[in-house]
Structure 1
Amino acid sequence: MRQTGTEGCVSARFEEIDWRQTAKGAISLRRRRDPASGTEVYEVKLDDDFLMSSQFTAGEIALARLGLEPLADTHLDVIVGGLGLGYTAHAVLEDPRVRSLTVVEALEEVIGWHQRRLVPLGADLTSDPRCRLLHADFFSLAADPHGFDPDIPGRRFHAIVVDIDHSPRHVLDPAHAPFYEPGGLRGLAGRLHPGGVFALWSNDPPDEHFNAVLAQVFYASQAHVVEFHNPFQNRTATNTVYVARTQPDQA
């Protein structure tokens, strides 16, 4: 989970649905009604930091679609790093080729919001038999030789889609930083099938350094700029989605 640029613009008329103290800080789930559209908006805060809002989901949805688009396989096994409000995971499940989805979330409280159906997509995710919500640290599993599936050590996946930090340079925890360097990404690439995809959401513009890191590790990579309207600032805002592929089989 990470910042979406809505800080300082939230109406005082909100309902705090849940608040918990966690090892990472105080996390809260809030709901308010948007005065312009009349729709309900769900927001997540960690301490005083706004992490995400259901009003801004274009980047999360594009992350899933751009991440799965290059794959030719018809039965896909997918990892999503970071659950949040569930928009990336939900978009993954909308692809009929997806056979299984494991969503890795470090905060058990966030998984609980979905299981208790306190968030709009909770019912869809928890009732889909293809979807598994795994309480674990994504970065620890990425570095673990056993990988992401505790039941099948070394299991490979067709796509690993990550939406946790603000960007490769602006991480929520300093311990995440090594993941975005060549050593960390090589470990992740080893969890992908040949021709598999690593896709990453970022709140920053395309980063030349990170593009160079991806080029060191992956067979091919591209940074996509996703545009959406920000009504608070009355302008077009952008996210970046990086999509990188391992080398295909040389059949």
Structure 2
Amino acid sequence: MGARFEELDWCDSPIGVISLRRRHEPVTGREVYEVKIDDEFLMSSLFTVVEIELARLGLARVDGADLSVLVGGLGLGYTARAVLEDPRVRSLEVVEAVAPVIDWHRRDLLPDTVGLAADPRCELVEDDFFAMVAERRAGRRHDAVLLDVDHSPRNVLHPSHEAFYTPDGLGRLADLLVPDGVFGLWSDDPPDAAFEADLAATFRDTETHVVSFPNPLTRAESASTVYVARSPLAP
């Protein structure tokens, strides 16, 4: 066996030093790809169930075909890949604030999502999703917007994201959606009643899903939350 871990890339970003590393996980015997911000773990290829379920649960509530989808946050690419597996999707725009993350995919550094950047339906855009929403400069409306950036609505990566998780921020997000469009959000926290109330004040239809998955490191079940909201209410 070679080195226990290898740092594949790193760079400064507005939210800290972001790095991609590959390491051998002795519990599973597999190679694992991880993203860190400074010394904090952000995401891992060891845990991808909820990122995939974000796409599946969100798109399950979308009617019709020739869908236009916006994903906020590229990361390791599992949500984007799951979106493209839906044959109804005509176009996918992925908004990612950190340019090197986009470059990881253009260089196919991540084996599970090789080819993502080359898919003709997929456009990788360097931009700040939260600023784009706040400034209402998305350009067009989408059938679905799926967001996986912060740990949760109460545990954000940067203070500038906090305003998004308010009635005003969600109202601006609704401007990105067609009349029956769907918003999906990943959260690593349990269901948040206050945030659910804000969603219900902004959308006609809301659901909260607790998604469980096996955790090989703890040899137990872990869980995250996926919020799905459909049909924005008129402002």
User: Which residue is 2:147 aligned to?
Assistant: 162
Q: Deviations over 1:138-161 (max 9, x none)?
A: 0011122332xxxxx3x1100000
Within the alignment, does 1:193 sit opposite 2:178 as a pair? yes
| 2: CA distance, partners of 1:70 / 1:242 | 12
Secondary structure of 2:156's partner? Answer: coil
Please give the TM-score of this superposition, normalised by the length of structure 2.
0.95
Match of 1:74 in 2: 65
Q: Distance in 2 between matches of 1:121 and 1:95?
A: 17
Q: Equivalent residue for 1:5?
A: none
Aligned-partner Cα distance in 1 for 2:172–2:10: 35
1:197-230 Cα deviation digits (max 9, x unpaired): 0000000000000000001110110110000011
Q: Which residue of 1 aligns with 2:97?
A: 106
Q: Which has the higher strand share?
A: 2
Deviates more, 1:231-240 or 1:33-42: 33-42
Identity of aligned residues (%): 57
Q: Secondary structure at the match of 1:27?
A: strand
Residues 90 and 121, structure 1, Cα contact 8 Å, conserved in 2: no
CA distance in 2, matches of 1:58, 1:51: 15
**Structure 1 CA distance for aligned equivalents of residues 16 and 227 of structure 2:** 29
**Matched-pair contact (CA < 8 Å) for 1:116–1:122:** no
Contact 2:70-2:146 within 8 A present in 1 as well? yes
**1:210: which partner in 2?**
195
Amino acid at match of 1:104: V
Query: Are 2:78 and 1:93 equivalent residues in the alignment?
Result: no
Which AA in structure 2 matches 1:111? I
One-letter code aligned to 2:154:
R
2: CA distance between counterparts of 1:145 and 1:22?
23
State which of 38, 42, 46 in structure 2 corresponds to 1:51: 42
Q: Calculate the aligned-residue CA RMSD, in Å.
A: 1.4
Within-5 A mapping of 1:200-239: 200-239=185-224
Q: Provide the rounded CA distance (Å) in 1 between the counterparts of 2:176 and 2:10.
A: 35
